[in-house]
Amino acid sequence: MNLIDGNKVAAEIKQEIAEEVKQIIDNGGKQPHLAAILVGHDGGSETYVAYKIKDCEAVGFKSSLIRYEDDVTEEELLAKVEELNNDDDLDGFIVQLPLPKHISEQKVIEAIDPRKDVDGFHPINVGRMVIGLPSFVSATPYGIVELLKRYNIETSGKNCVVLGRSNIVGRPMSVLMSQKAINATVTVAHSRTANLKEVCANADILIVAMGVPEFVTADMVKEGAVVIDVGTTRVKSDKTKSGWKLKGDVLYDEVAPKCSYITPVPGGVGPMTRTSLLLNTLLSAKKEIYK
């Protein structure tokens, strides 16, 4: 069993980005700039956004954090999105989800200029990705593809099962895995899939993004499979200082011995998700997606 070390790969990529940023600036270019809008005080969102800002500093990006209380109106938020769309200094920005219930997430996502949508959530970016045009790809699938590449994991002709069909992970992941550069044969499985156990046990590459802690057990995994665990459910723990612990969607101790490669939680996909946002921001700064 080989461990896929997301922390190690993410550190390598961050180093590469930092070197590129230095070159851009040495050549008289503009410092890449990412902004994040954070609404309210959700614990998970606070943590994720703080990491995103910290990552920017680590690679030499400029970053801006724009905060609103929970009672911000949709109108105010949309006006800010419009302002950021027109801010020439800004290469990309994200609106951290989830948003309070009185605000339509879809409306906000669609208000973001696709050229600055470094989350890759706008339907134009999703559509371009599906038909193989240059696009911003959402961070987790992008990070997983990068992990598979950097570990030289054979994907061509392999059976890939993606467990989960969210707009952010499962669905884009399934599209990417079937693209010509990757060439896997893809099955998208979900809560209504019949014979789920058998479907998963047929996978050479099993990508699990259900959000159900320890859902995948050893009997669902083929001997020698590559298992990618996207789950990051925060559960209460009296063993950690913070009082919280991250749990993956895979019952790691039981599944790992059967795998050729597996991602741990934490330290697998999570760090790569963060790195992808930086990669997208750099692509935007270099105008590589939209000329």
Tell me which residues touch ligand GUN (CB under 6 A): 94-97, 119, 139
Report the distance separating Cα 16 and Cα 13, nearest Å: 5
Q: Specify the residue, 97 or 130, whose C-beta has the smaller distance to ligand GUN.
A: 97
Query: Is 242 annotated as contributing to ligand binding?
Result: no
Q: What is the smallest separation between the CB atom of 119 and ligand GUN, expressed in angstroms? A: 5
Q: Specify the residue, 49 or 251, whose C-beta has the smaller distance to ligand GUN.
A: 49
Q: What is the smallest separation between the CB atom of 271 and ligand GUN, expressed in angstroms? A: 13
Q: Specify the residue, 94 or 147, whose C-beta has the smaller distance to ligand GUN.
A: 94
Find out whether 2 and 260 touch, Cβ atoms under 8 Å: yes
Distances (CA, A) of 184 to 30, 133, 254: 39, 19, 26
Find out whether 143 and 276 touch, Cβ atoms under 8 Å: yes
Which tokens sit at 20?
């590129």
Q: What is the smallest separation between the CB atom of 96 and ligand GUN, expressed in angstroms? A: 5
Query: Is 45 annotated as contributing to ligand binding?
Result: no
CB under 8 Å to 131, separation ≥6 — which residues?
A: none
Q: What is the largest CA-CA distance in the chain?
A: 58
Distances (CA, A) of 53 to 49, 75, 76, 94: 6, 26, 23, 12
Q: Specify the residue, 95 or 186, whose C-beta has the smaller distance to ligand GUN.
A: 95
Q: What is the smallest separation between the CB atom of 265 and ligand GUN, expressed in angstroms? A: 15
Residue nearest to ligand GUN (CB): 97
Q: Supply φ then ψ for residue 138, to 5 degrees.
A: -60, 150
In 101-236, which ranges are E strands?
159-163, 185-189, 205-208, 226-229, 233-236
Distances (CA, A) of 168 to 122, 176, 191, 209: 11, 12, 17, 10
Nearest to 224 by CA among 24, 62, 2: 2
The total number of residues written for the chain in this structure:
291
Would you name the residues annotated as active-site residues?
Answer: 52, 96, 119
Query: Is 165 annotated as contributing to ligand binding?
Result: yes
Q: Specify the residue, 139 or 203, whose C-beta has the smaller distance to ligand GUN.
A: 139
In the chain, which ranges are E strands?
2-3, 33-39, 62-68, 92-95, 159-163, 185-189, 205-208, 226-229, 233-236, 244-247, 261-262
Query: Is 166 annotated as contributing to ligand binding?
Result: yes
Q: What is the smallest separation between the CB atom of 123 and ligand GUN, expressed in angstroms? A: 15
Binding-site entries: 164-166, 232
Binding-site entries for NADP(+): 164-166, 232
